[in-house]
Amino acid sequence: MWSASKWMDKNNVLCELTTHCNAKCPQCSRTNHNELTKNEYVKLKHINLNEWIDMFDKSYSQISSFHFSGQWGDVMMNPYVEDIFKHIVDNSEASISFSTNGSLRDEEFFWRIGSLTNRILGIFDIDGITQETHEYYRRNTNLEKVMNNCETFAMTNNQTHVFTVVFKHNQHEIDQITEWCNDRGIVHKPFQSNRFTRIPTCKYTWKGKEYILEQTTDKRFLDVYEEDGRTVRDWRK
């Protein structure tokens, strides 16, 4: 069963406006490892503006923030997302945050979104400084477009973050992503994948070829690692 929202607490709401997504990320819960097709149990749905109003219009005064996550779809796939954001801005004092792979829409769209208010946090996914590295995990996305959209949103003076899932194949480019973010006043938040099970690898096929995701070996992003033959846990992480 898919729902549009989940109360994180009495003042903050985690929302899913859509189950559609353009990206095909191997460790996403909506994705099958065989050719990265959508899992059959994911039913496709957009929440439209009227449905949104029915759910939240009378609750706005109780809500401090809405976070539009990407657990089951990318919020920018929803054709009504701009109208919904505008309705929140015009009818409440709630802040907005959204997570997106950033490869949808265009710079003009993200400028308009950022111009609605200064209480929006935009979170974009950049998993490499080159297209080859980025798309090893963020399949079916375009890095140049992501960077352009992210930079444009940041120019609206709203908070902008870049999330990077750190694997072995992209750990050598993390510092370059951080530098790119710092030059634009963007906060970079790299972190290790938490979706490995009992083995630190994940195999998938894409366009008939097999690929292997491996857990990062960079100790900066590991909370547990091997050192001098012993297991070390970094309790700060």
Question: Which CATH number covers residue 83?
Answer: 3.20.20.70
pLDDT at 194: 86
pLDDT at 70: 85
Residue 233: pLDDT above 50? no
> What's the chain's Rg over C-alpha atoms?
19
How many domains does the chain fold into? 1
Query: CA angle, 44 as apex, 38 and 47 as ends, to 5°?
Result: 140
Q: Which pLDDT band, with edges at 50, 70 and 90, does 195 fall under?
A: confident
Distance between CA atoms of 36 and 211, rounded to whole angstroms?
11
On whether the CB atoms of residues 133 and 146 are closer than 8 A, the answer is no
Residue 234: pLDDT above 80? no
Distance between CA atoms of 153 and 133, rounded to whole angstroms?
23
Residue 5: pLDDT above 90? no
Residue 138: pLDDT above 70? yes
On whether the CB atoms of residues 26 and 137 are closer than 8 A, the answer is yes
DSSP label at 139?
B
Give me 131's structure tokens: 């297209």
| Domain housing 99 | 5-233
Q: What is the pLDDT of residues 70-115, one digit of tens each?
A: 889 999 999 999 999 999 999 999 999 999 999 999 999 999 999 9
Query: What is this structure's pTM?
Result: 0.91
Q: What is the pLDDT of residues 11-64, one digit of tens each?
A: 899 999 999 999 999 999 889 999 999 998 889 999 999 999 999 989 999 999
Taking residue 225's Cβ as centre, other Cβ atoms within 10 Å add up to: 15
In sequence order, the 6+-apart residues with CB closer than 8 A to the CB of 169 are 133, 136, 137, 213, 214
Helix and strand element counts for the chain (H, E): 6, 11
As a whole-number percent, the residues of the chain with pLDDT over 70 amount to 89
In sequence order, the 6+-apart residues with CB closer than 8 A to the CB of 73 are 16, 17, 18, 19, 20, 21, 30
